[in-house]
Amino acid sequence: MADKIYPYFTEEHEIFRQQVRSFCEEQLAPHADEWEEEGNFPRWVFEKMGELGFLGITYPEKYGGAAADFWTKVVFAEELPRCQSSGVLLSVLVQTDMCTPAIVTFGNEEQKEEILRPAIQGKKIGAICVTEPNAGSDVAAIRTTAVKDGDNYIINGSKTFITNGAKADWLTLAVKTNPQKGYSGISLFLFPTTTPGFTVTRKLNKLGHRATDTVELAFEDCKISKKYLLGEEGKGFYAIMHGFQYERLVGCIAGVAGIKLLLQETVNYCKERTAFKTKICAFQANAHRLADLATEIEAAQSLIYHCSDMVNRGLNAIKEVSMCKLYVGELGVKAARECLQLHGGYGYIEEYHVCRAYRDVMLGTIGGGSSEIMREIIARMMGLYS
C-alpha cells in the first residue's frame, strides 16, 4: 500500500491498487522468465487487462473507460512493475499512454468507436510510430510521407524502434503531408496494419525489455482512407508534443516504483548474505550506499507526486516532467549499478532480477526523450538561450 504520508490516495485508490497488484503478481509475474526468454508475450494479457478496466483508466466512460482521476493512473503505473517484466510493462504503457491519448484528444467519433473502444477493451493493440532510421529526437526530420490521392492518402517510408509493432492492429503514425513545412508539415494517421504494402521488416534484438517486440516497419504505396487522418492535417507535431508530457510522467512513475522494488530486493539480500561472518548490510560502506539510494529514491518520488498533482489539476508541467524524466532516468542507471554490485557475483547471473534490471534501465535515459533532450528542454524553459 502507498505510504500514508502521501495525502493523494483515497480508500478507492488503495482498493484499486490491490486489484492491480494481485493481477500482476499472480497472473503475470509467474510467466515473466518465459516471456523474457521468448522475446514476446501473448495477446491475452491485453484482453484480460481490458476486462479488468486497466486500459482506459482516465478515458471517457462513453468509450468504455473509467473516467478516473490521474491519481488512479498513478496507482496503476506504480503497481505494474510487479509483473517482473519491463517488456510487458512497456508494451502496456504504449497502449494506455502513448498511442491512444491523441485519439481521445483529437479523434472524431468514428475513430473513437473503431479504434479507441476496442483498444480500451484490449481487443485491438496499438503502437506509436514517430522514430525513423534517420530521425529520433529531431521529429521534424522524419521522411515518411502521406500524399493525398482523392479521398485517400498514399504512404511511403519506414519507422524503427517501434514497440508493439509486430502485434499491432493499428499505428498512431507520424508522417509528412507537406515535406517543405518542417514541424507544420507533420500529420498523424491511425494506420490499420492490414493495409497492403505494410510490412514488419525486422525484429530488433535489444539489450533489455526483451519480452516486448521492437521492430522496423516499412510502408510501400500504402493507400488508406482520409477518414484515418487524426485531427487536422499539419497539426501532428503539436499532437505528439501534447502527449509527451503524460507519456514521460507515467514512465517515470513506473520507473521509480521499479527502482523501489529493486532496492528492497537488494536490502533483503544484504541482510541475508554474509562475508567475513558479517552481514553485507552491516559494513558501513554498504549501509551508506543503501542509505544514499533510499534518499535519492524518496526525492524522485516527491518530484513525481508534485508533477502528478500538477497534471491532475490540469496545469502545464512540461518543465517539471522533463526534470522528472531526466532525474529518474539517470537514477535508474545508478541504482541498478549499485544494486548489482551489492549482489556480487550473483548480480551477474540471469537468475537474479537485478541482472535483468541492469539491462532494462538504460532505456530510461534514451527512450521517450533522451537525458540530453530533457536538459535542453529545461534549459530553454529557464530562458538560458534567450
Catalytic-role residue among 233, 247, 320, 338: 247
From CA 340, how far away is CA 345, in angstroms rounded?
9
Q: Which of 114, 211, 241 is nearest to 169 (CA)?
A: 114
Distinct helix (H) and strand (E) counts, the chain: 13, 10
The residue behind cell 499491432 is: 168
Cα torsion angle, 244, 249, 251, 252, sign: positive
Please, which contacts does 215-218 make with residues 24 or more away whose CB atoms are closer than 8 Å?
215/160, 215/162, 215/165, 215/166, 216/133, 216/158, 216/159, 216/160, 216/162, 216/165, 217/129, 217/158, 217/159, 217/160, 217/162, 217/165, 217/171, 218/157, 218/158
Distance CA 311, CA 250 (A): 11
The burial class, CB within 10 Å (0-12 / 13-18 / 19+), for 69 is middle
Would residue 247 show up in a list of annotated catalytic residues for this protein? yes
Residues 6+ apart with CB under 8 A from 260: 297, 301
Q: What are the catalytic residues?
A: 247
